Structure 1
Amino acid sequence: MLKRLFGNTAVSKEVIIKSPVSGKYVDLTDIPDPTFSEKRMGDGFAVEPDEGKIVSPINGKIVQIFPSKHAIGIKSEEGLDILIHIGLENVSLKGIGFEVHVNEGDRIKTGDILIEFNLEEVVQDSMCAVTPVVFTEGSQVVKMMREEVSDLIAGDTEIMTIKVKS
């Protein structure tokens, strides 16, 4: 009877997204790459990094590490798929200057070190170290609420709360 009265409403879970890297908040639409700025891969945000250390923004699991080590896919405990992409147009580095600290299938906690990289090499090679954080499965997202922050501390600063379908 409740189903008839209230329809088929999906229950949602909240995921708090913390910054994966210390630096300055950048709106995704301001990134000089249409793949990200036009949200072709999904909605999200970006960070202009101050340092070369990426940490987990959530509790979850490593689902993919790109062979060039510049990007990593993770899934939150609540089921949200997240891509962290270090810099733009830097596949030509072929993983040089990147040190991955996790493996596919690893369980991770917020703040765990995922990747360390040479910030100067990334900037020199790609001219842009901005790091997009994208929620790749838009159908999972019910609502996104952004915190009004600009200076970010890796693993500490809350950037967004995402409501996801359960």
Structure 2
Amino acid sequence: MNKKRVRVSSPFSGKLVQLTDISKQKFSNKMMGEGIAIEPTEGEMAAPVSGEVTQIFPTKHAVNLLTDTGVELLIQVGIDAENLEGVGFETNIKEKSRVSTGDSLITFDLAKVSRELTGLASPIVIMNRNKVAQFSYTSKTHVIKGETIIMELELTE
């Protein structure tokens, strides 16, 4: 085991929600990976880590990032946001671009999105769980964008 401290900042300000409490089973059953979710209180998603943007979903509601340590993250706004087909979302980055922690990735109309979605809980998921043996995250119930939410990832070789 190669234990590394990898800091993952909150991409949103809002209330922390456990993945197991999300209505969408692919997240609550952790089929997509391990992680946490946040119910945003403002309409901006910021980069939680420095790395490369590997995918921007065509519906502009989600982004995949690859950290310099090889951890793949999915950051998504709400549940079933793909049904909005991009309406109310704007991307501020391009695929294959490098981002730094705190850079604006997506802006969205929070009022519209919260009216239209099944749920506002926005998952931050470690997609390649085979790369991460263990992680620990904040015990806070509310976070501010940029605050550390995942404090340590224990990476496998």
User: Is the structural similarity TM-score above 0.5?
Assistant: yes
1:82 has 2:69 as partner: no
Large movers: runs of 4+ above 6 Å: none
1:154 has 2:133 as partner: no
8 Å CA contact 2:2–2:154 kept in 1: the answer is no
Match of 1:54 among 37, 45, 61: 45
Report the secondary structure of 2:8's partner residue.
strand
Q: 1:17 deviation in Å?
A: 0.8
8 Å CA contact 1:119–1:129 kept in 2: the answer is no
For 2:149, the aligned partner's letter is I
Written as runs of structure 1 = structure 2, the 5 A alignment for 1:16-165 is: 16-155=7-146, 157-160=147-150, 161-165=152-156
Deviation per CA, 1:54-104, whole angstroms, max 9, x where unpaired? 001111110000000011000111110000111111212111110100001
8 Å CA contact 2:58–2:86 kept in 1: the answer is yes
CA RMSD, Structure 1 to Structure 2 (Å) = 1.1
Q: 1:126 deviation in Å?
A: 1.1
Distance 2:38 2:69 in 1: 23
Compare the two structures and name the one with the higher helix fraction: 1
Distance 2:148 2:142 in 1: 11
Report the secondary structure of 1:121's partner residue.
helix
Corresponding residue of 1:5: none
Deviation per CA, 1:11-62, whole angstroms, max 9, x where unpaired? 3432111101000110110111111000010010000110110001111110
Q: Which runs of 5+ in 2 are unaligned?
A: none
Specify the structure having the higher radius of gyration (Cα).
Answer: 1
Report the secondary structure of 2:101's partner residue.
coil
For normalisation by structure 1, the TM-score amounts to 0.90
For normalisation by structure 2, the TM-score amounts to 0.95
Q: Which runs of 5+ in 1 are unaligned?
A: 1-9
Q: 1:164 deviation in Å?
A: 1.9
Report the secondary structure of 1:95's partner residue.
coil
Distance 1:91 1:151 in 2: 26
Distance 2:130 2:144 in 1: 29
